[in-house]
Each structure stands twice: as C-alpha cells, then as structure tokens.
Amino acid sequence: MLTTIFLMIVDAVISLLSITLLLRFYMQWMRVSFRNQIGGFVTQLTNWLVLPLRRFVPSLGGLDLSSLVPAVILQAIEIAVVLWLRGSPIGIDPVRLAAIVLAVGVLEVIRLSVWLLIIIVIMSAVLSWISPYSPISPILNNLARPFLRPFQKIIPPIANIDLSPLVLLLILQIVLMVIGQVRLSLLPVLM
C-alpha cells in the first residue's frame, strides 16, 4: 500500500511538472505571451529547470528544446522508478532497458501533449460561449487555433457554430488509442 501511495505522489508531481514544461514549450512555439497569470505560473514553476538547461540544450528551428527534453527525461525517470519498485525485468540488457524506458517516456510526453491539447480545446470552446472576454480566452485561443485552423478550412460553421473542435477532439481520442496500443506493446518487454 505504501508503494502505491508513493507511486501516486511521484506520478502527480512528475505529471504536473511535465505538463507545465509542455505548456511552456507550446506557448513559446506559438508565440503566446507570458505576460499573464498562466505565463507567470509556467515560468516560475519551470525556470529552475529550463534556464540552466539552455546552456547545454540548443533550440531547434525556433523550438525551445530545453523545455521539451526535461519533460521526456522526467517521464522516463517515473517509468524507471515504477520498474525499480515493482522489480526490474530479468534478463534484459541494461542498454536495451534504458532505450525502452526512454521510448515509453517519449510516448508519455506525446500522451500528455494530447491531453493538454484536449483540455485547451475544450476550455477554449466553453469560454467562447460562456465568457469570451475572459483574460484566459486569448491564451487558450492562441494555443488551440493552429490545431483547429485546418479543420475550420474544411468544415464550415453550421448556424454560426464551429464544429471543428469536435472533429479535432475525435482525432485526438484516436491518437490516444494508438498511443495506448503502442505503449501496451512495449510493456510486455518491461514486465
């Protein structure tokens, strides 16, 4: 029972930090202003990790990899902790085990990114109806717009209602299913 409680706490802390790092990555990628409450929260929670990494991890095509790389490493660490507490797989080469843990860490970051996008799209859609002038609305709209735009070009509004968020959410659910299947295919190797 103590192991389960410890793993729940580790998962909560690492997931919060990973999601915040991903939000920082996407806000910088989409040039969303950090001069707001969300931006302030994100920078204060992640500066201790991102700023020192910028000396070693270069940007790539305008993408701040010093925000993305620690999210992958944190997810890999979480998986390694789970494996360590549940008993490391027997008979697997340590290099192969590290590669698989890192691959699952990348999958987890992609999964968290999809969930983050789902939450952003839902909140953006809800706020567009309830409180379009909320201070958080422009942030959410700027984060969701690049993903919604391709669908908005194809799907016209019906009675002035944009259905593109529904289509995007459906596709994101399919992506989550595929990630889950890939992860399950890697787990037998780890267990």
Owning domain of residue 132: 2-190
Indicate whether 73 pLDDT > 70. Answer: yes
pTM of the model: 0.90
What is the pLDDT, as a whole number, of residue 98? Answer: 86
Indicate the average pLDDT of the chain: 91
pLDDT tens profile 2-48: 888 999 999 999 999 999 999 999 999 999 999 999 999 999 999 99
pLDDT, average across residues 136-161 = 93
Choose among 40, 44, 39: nearest CA to 27: 39
pLDDT band at 52 (very low <50, low <70, confident <90, very high): very high
pLDDT band at 189 (very low <50, low <70, confident <90, very high): low
Q: Show Cβ contacts of residue 53 under 8 Å, excluding neighbours closer than 6 positions.
A: 66, 69, 70
pLDDT tens profile 77-113: 998 888 888 776 666 777 888 888 899 899 999 999 9
Q: How many domains does the chain have?
A: 1
d(CA 35, CA 142): 14
d(CA 111, CA 180): 8
